[in-house]
Amino acid sequence: MAETNLIAESGKQDIVISREFDAPPQDLVFKACTDPGGLVSQWWGGPKGVTTTVEKMDTRPGGMWRAVQRDAEGNEYAFHGVYHEVTPGRIVDTFEYDAMPGHVLLETETLEDLGGGRTKLTDHLIFQSVEDRDGMLQAGSQEEMIEPLERLAGLLQSLKQAASAR
């Protein structure tokens, strides 16, 4: 079983998260990362028990995205950003938590074709400062960055099974 790796070196303002998936990069992984019609909301977001609603997702350069998460107590957490590049091998966007305006990070997701229907997704998050990055890590966000990729792996497996059943 593949593991999600998270690297956050002390004193640096970035985080690198990677995971390999048993799914082709363009047919399934890219689609799961850019489909506002339902796929993104099935895996993206925080810890288990949190639901995600994609309110806006215009996956063109200059297009905006906005997602709202709700926990079991009804609390809402909203995030938004702007796409800078969207190609089957690379997605670049900004990410900002509505409750902390002005703390914007730059996210670059790279989809590497490993052959044999496998993909390596690398998510490189660059924060405006080491303090912003450390604040996110101290808030317990490491688990919230890993769990969605675990859910994505499950979703991709389901999509593959559905495709082969047709």
Q: What is the pLDDT of residue 33?
A: 95
Query: What integer pLDDT is reported at residue 134 of this predicted model?
Result: 92
**Rounded to whole angstroms, how far apart are CA atoms 148 and 67?**
14
- Asked if residue 94 lies in contact with residue 104, where contact means CB atoms within 8 angstroms, the answer is yes
What does the angle CA 36 – CA 40 – CA 44 come to, to the nearest 5 degrees?
A: 145
Question: How crowded is residue 147: how many other Cβ atoms within 10 Å of its Cβ?
Answer: 17
pLDDT, position 26: 81
Contact at 8 Å (CB) between 80 and 66?
yes
Q: What is the pLDDT along the chain (166 residues), one digit of tens a residue?
A: 578 999 999 999 999 999 999 999 888 999 999 998 789 999 987 777 889 999 999 999 999 999 999 999 999 999 999 999 999 999 999 999 999 999 999 999 999 999 999 999 999 999 999 999 998 888 767 777 888 999 999 999 999 888 888 7
Dihedral of CA atoms 114, 120, 88, 41 in degrees, nearest 10, equals: 140
* pLDDT at position 48: 77
Q: What is the pLDDT of residue 2?
A: 74
pLDDT for res 18: 96
Q: Say if CB 93 and CB 65 are below 8 A apart.
A: yes
